[in-house]
């Protein structure tokens, strides 16, 4: 977790709440609610909740001074999640923008997920919903997409643009193809 981000969100939330005491009281109350249920994700829950409090009324990222483009790789807040869904703060690539909402595919640099990902040559028995991207300029580690977690979200969920994949590149076209394959996955299609 980026401590500067948490500190910045905390400062913004204090200003929005009107006083440090009001915000601290709110955090303690929410912590007592989350602790018995999601102890391992308590901090992520609180950061997502703070992001939601600060951004939920925004129509789009433009209100936050960000102008996003298809192909942008963003650090963003997906919010709370059910089991088997991506949630909280993750990277994601914008595949489409429609009426101030973005179709985003979440991604991670987790080496365990990278090792599990399907690759026609290196891992033909890998998980088809995971797509290896390799290293993208602007990011520190090789990344993998969670294709079965793509969804349209309000662009106000974007915290920062970190990199960009050119929409005319071979990589972007490969992502589109895999996205379509996963969206309409059938048992009779051979990989």
Q: How high is the pLDDT of residue 101? A: 97
Contact 44, 31 (CB under 8 A): no
CATH code of the domain made up of 60-191: 2.30.30.110
Average pLDDT value for the chain: 87
Residue pLDDT, tens place only, 24-80? 787 777 777 767 766 667 778 888 888 888 898 999 999 999 999 999 999 999 998
Q: Taking the C-alpha atoms of 179, 141, 2 and 30 in order, what is their torsion angle to the nearest 10 degrees?
A: 40
- The encoded tokens of residue 170 equal 């071979």
Q: What residues contact residue 6 under an 8 Å CB cut-off, 6+ apart?
A: 43, 47
The three-state (H, E, C) secondary structure of 38-101, written as one string: HHHHHHHHHHHHHHHHHHCCCCCHHHHCCCCCCCEEEEEECCCCCCCCCCCEEEEEEEEEECCE
Residue pLDDT, tens place only, 38-50? 666 777 888 888 8
Each domain of the chain, given as residue ranges in start order, spans 1-57, 60-191
Contact 86, 135 (CB under 8 A): no
Please count the residues of the chain.
191
Please give the Cα distance from 109 to 117 (Å, whole number). 12
pTM to 2 decimal places: 0.82
Please give the Cα distance from 79 to 89 (Å, whole number). 7
């Amino acid at each position: 977790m980026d401590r500067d981000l948490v500190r910045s969100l905390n400062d913004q939330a204090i200003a929005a709440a009107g006083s440090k005491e009001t915000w601290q009281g709110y955090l303690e109350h929410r912590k007592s609610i989350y602790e018995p249920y999601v102890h391992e994700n308590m901090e992520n829950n609180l950061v997502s909740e703070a992001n939601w409090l600060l951004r939920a009324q925004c129509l789009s990222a433009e209100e936050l001074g960000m102008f996003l483009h298809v192909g942008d790789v963003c650090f963003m807040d997906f919010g709370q999640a059910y089991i088997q869904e991506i949630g909280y703060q993750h990277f994601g690539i914008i595949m489409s923008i429609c009426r101030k909402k973005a179709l985003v595919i979440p991604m991670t640099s987790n080496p365990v997920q990278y090792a599990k990902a399907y690759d026609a040559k290196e891992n033909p028995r890998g998980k088809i919903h995971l797509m290896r991207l390799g290293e993208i300029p602007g990011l520190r580690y090789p990344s993998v997409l969670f294709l079965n977690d793509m969804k349209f979200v309000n662009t106000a969920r974007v915290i920062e643009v970190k990199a960009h994949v050119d929409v005319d590149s071979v990589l972007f076209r490969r992502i589109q193809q895999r996205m379509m394959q996963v969206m309409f996955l059938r048992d009779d299609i051979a990989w």
